[in-house]
Amino acid sequence: MKRKQMSSAETAFSSAIREAYGRREEDETLEPIILVDKSGTPVGRFNNGDYVIFYDIRGEREIELTASLVDPNFNKFSINNKLRLHFVTMIEYDKRLPVRVAFPPGEPLIDTLSEVLSKHGLQHLKLAESEKAIHVCFFLNGKADQPFPGEERLIIPSPPNLSNYDQKPEMSIKQVAEETIEKIGDPRYALIITNFANVDVVGHIENEAAIKKAVETVDYYTGRVVEASLKAGRGVIVTADHGTVEKWLYPEGTIDTGHTDSPVPFVLLLPDGMHREVTLRKKGELSDVAPTILKLLGLPQPEVMTGRSLLLNYSPPKDKRVKNFLLLILDGWGLNDEQKGNLIAQASTPVMDELWGKYPSTRLRASGSAVGMPEGTVGNSEAGHLHLGAGRCVYSDRVRIDKAIEQGTFFSNEAFLWAMRGAKRDHHPLHLLGIVSFYSSHGSLDYLFSLLKMAADVGLKEVYIHSLMGRRGERPESGAIYIENVEEETHRLKLGKVVTVMGRYWALDREENWDRVEKTYRALVYGEGRRVKG
């Protein structure tokens, strides 16, 4: 995937965005900017009978906004009950939504880690704060909503009423750790899975001091739960889903708040010094974690689970086998041997330093083809947790969609054609809603440009673009430049008009912060926001 050359031609929108930068607004929290005509009337709002394509992937952050736009029984805030939209989503966000899906899910994943434990009658518990609940529950279960028999879930609310988590980098880790320690001594749980969210969540914010505080907080509570586990006779696996702040700088020194392509740690701790009898493979992948856990528990590995156990010589007598384990996921904790720009190395991490040096450890690939993504791309929380639980490589929606664009089948997609031909037939506009980014876990400019090309081929005359921005892994002021890229493409095709620009913070919520979603709804439907004249 080649990056489109950034333009230097400033537009009304990019000028308004740069003015917002001057007010210290960032791409992710950018207040809605709305295009108006000469009379000051908003242009391109969602109206009854219009056609909409929400071209984001991943999906868990897109559910709330989509529901507000398509569910006539939506009641979280006041909506236009007469608004009826013909709506297409790129992938399935939630099967209960009344929408058409361009790339529906394939066959459900079977025999994931939780399902195997369930089939063998083993109880297990998942603990996380709400910011990461969907990853530990939905994605780690192979995108299965409901818990399996014997699976329990305990979700701690993340701190409310914060504009950004750098205001409280500790988040809710104290409560998550305390609940974990309380449950560790319960022998009913063959496996406890706990996620510490801080490094990933705070790492997306440009605040070095807060990030180091998040790293050190995770290190401290890792020590507490590890100590409690070993004292209770419970083995521990410490790992992560992807990297983040161990590569916090681009080569020229600009801050990079995105995910990374770094490997992640895997450390195995066994009570009573049993770790001395264990040797691990030197390299592995996230999909090797589930097979390793099954081997530790003495359970057979299903045929569909094609990952390989990391254990080379673990074969204790049955009466001495450790029967209970804790899987501790340090979300966003990557490994990088370089010191420059490595905020994990620059923080004080005595616990992880000791664990890495004292216990069997190895490095796991957590990006690119190892997690079903295009080679050379970074990891993310969705793919990371999916592979931790699936125990096999699962090709991402991104790979499917990129291949469809490359092979041309994208342009004959039935759901897209239904929306575009319907808009043309009914004399209604087509709205394209989604992330504006070279590369985001939620989508790509390639999707928007491909949809614009397709709309031009169908012969549409009226296409409105509603752009969501968020600087995660992007360079400073990238949002303004990407909007210029989009407007250049609309001029080239002689089709399409950017009419809404706003930060993803408002639109892509997943924790029922309905005030944010309402702001997005009112921008899209009523044109509420800062106005620019086209």
379 in the same domain as 492: no
Q: What is the CA 459 to chain-centroid distance, rounded? A: 35
Q: Which distant-in-sequence residues (6+ apart) come within 8 Å of 190 by Cβ?
A: 117, 122, 123, 124, 297, 323, 324, 325
Determine, yes or no, domain membership for 7: no
Report yes or no on 6 lying in a domain: no
Q: Are residues 507 and 424 in the same domain?
A: yes
What pLDDT was estimated at residue 2?
35
Residue 471 is predicted with a pLDDT of 58
Residue 415 lies in a domain: yes
State whether 438 and 322 are in the same domain: no
Same domain, 254 and 279: yes
2 in any annotated domain: no
Instruction: Say if residue 290 is in the same domain as residue 267.
Output: yes
Rounded Cα distance between 237 and 460, Å, is 55
What is the span of the domain harbouring residue 355? Answer: 113-393
Q: Which of 393, 422, 457 is the last residue of a domain?
A: 393
Kindly state whether residues 412 and 361 are assigned to the same domain: no
Query: Domain ends where: 345, 365, 393?
Result: 393
Domain count, the chain: 2
493 shares a domain with 438:
yes
Same structural domain for residues 222 and 286? Answer: yes
Question: Buried b / exposed e across 435-474, counting CB within 10 Å, b at 16+?
Answer: bbbbbbbbbbbbbbbbbbbbbbebebebbbbbbbbbbbbb
DSSP state letter for 266: E
* CATH assignment of the domain containing 457: 3.40.1450.10
Structure tokens at 519: 């702001």
Task: Give, to the nearest 10 degrees, the angle between helix 63-70 and helix 514-526.
Answer: 50
Please state, in angstroms and rounded to a whole number, the distance separating the CA atoms of residues 505 and 162.
12
Classify residue 3: in a domain, yes or no: no
Residue 267 is part of a domain; what is its CATH number? 3.40.720.10
* Distances from the Cα of 452 to the Cα of 36, 120, 208, angstroms: 22, 51, 39
Task: Look at residue 479 and tell me if it is in a domain.
Answer: yes
Neighbour-count burial for 55-90, b at 16+ CB within 10 Å, e otherwise = bbbbbbbbbbbbbbbbeeebeeeebeeebebbbbbb
Q: Name the domain boundary from 335, 363, 393.
A: 393
Q: Average pLDDT of each block of 10 consecutive residues along the chain (534 residues)? A: 42 87 87 95 97 93 97 95 96 95 92 98 98 95 94 96 92 98 97 98 95 98 98 97 95 88 97 90 96 97 97 84 96 96 97 97 97 91 96 92 94 98 98 87 89 97 94 68 92 96 93 95 97 88
Residue 130, classed as helix, strand or coil, is: helix
Residue 1 lies in a domain: no
- Are 92 and 141 within one domain? no
Do 85 and 155 fall within a single domain? no
